[in-house]
Structure 1
Amino acid sequence: MTDCIFCKIASKEVNARIVFENERVVAFHDLFPAAPTHLLVIPKQHYTTLNDVPASEALILGELMTTASQLAADLGVAEDGYRVVMNCNGNGGQSVYHIHLHLLAGRKLTWPPG
């Protein structure tokens, strides 16, 4: 996707504070953090929304989650607690249409979130 900011980050066309990368996933700091720790974990492959991930490619969703879990441990926030969120479409709070997880930590997170 030529207009997708997350695709541009994944391909290194746009700079980001990347904290993790492998062949399939990139994690970086959110520009507008909602918690002291706020990372975004994205697949390098573009999927517009969660609804667009075919069952045949669902393993990427597990990799996003396990990457978030490992990052929480690496950052020392796993024991205190953290939140992993994926928004889907406008009413679900999605503002960038490339699937991504938010990893939030570093303060007490309340419920409901919004």
Structure 2
Amino acid sequence: MSDVAETLFERIIAREIPADVVYETETVLAFRDINAQARVHVLVVPKTRYRNVAELAAADAGLLGDVVLAAKAVAEIEGISESGYRVVFNTEGDAGQTVFHVHAHVLGGEQLGFFGRHGAGA
């Protein structure tokens, strides 16, 4: 596990900091992002800390699967699974990662623009 200091997400998981929880299992916690970038913006966080998605994938592919399945569950709960949603993992500073505890952003509930420098969709 990277970095010794406790992250904001660990404090949310421990219920030391309040959050608007949308979904929870034994392995993940999903809660609304306080700085929402779309009508629906929920963070899915594994309860075990890994720095980023690459570290998680290398260490525990099953837990990565739990995060992705939780993102699907969040989309269903939020009513956006049919209209479409985006799941984003930011990895390190240039990608915008500011909390170094891996987390998936589930975004939707409105037409989302293309992303990246050139705005190309895929």
Q: Same fold (TM over 0.5)?
A: yes
The structure 1 residue matched to 2:14, chosen from 11, 18, 23, is: 11
- The match for 1:109 is 112
Gaps of at least 5 residues in structure 2 are 118-122
Q: SS of the counterpart of 1:53? A: helix
CA RMSD of aligned residues (A): 1.5
- The match for 1:57 is 60
Q: SS of the counterpart of 2:50? A: coil
Matched residues in 2 for 1:4 and 1:56: separation?
A: 19
Gaps of at least 5 residues in structure 1 are none
Matched residues in 1 for 2:14 and 2:5: separation?
A: 11
Structure 1 position 33 matched with structure 2 position 36:
yes
**CA pair 99-56 structure 1, distance change in 2 beyond 3 A:** closer
**CA pair 107-36 structure 1, distance change in 2 beyond 3 A:** same
Structure 1 stretches (4+) deviating beyond 6 angstroms? none
Identity over aligned residues, as a percent? 37
Within 5 Å, give how 1:95-106 maps onto structure 2: 95-106=98-109
Matched residues in 2 for 1:22 and 1:104: separation?
A: 20
Matched residues in 2 for 1:111 and 1:7: separation?
A: 31
Q: SS of the counterpart of 2:30? A: strand
Structure 1 position 94 matched with structure 2 position 97:
yes
Q: SS of the counterpart of 1:47? A: coil
1:56 deviates by 4.4
Q: Tell me the number of residue pairs that the alignment of Structure 1 and Structure 2 aligns.
A: 114
Does the Cα contact within 8 Å between 2:41 and 2:108 map onto a contact in 1?
yes
TM-score (norm 2): 0.86
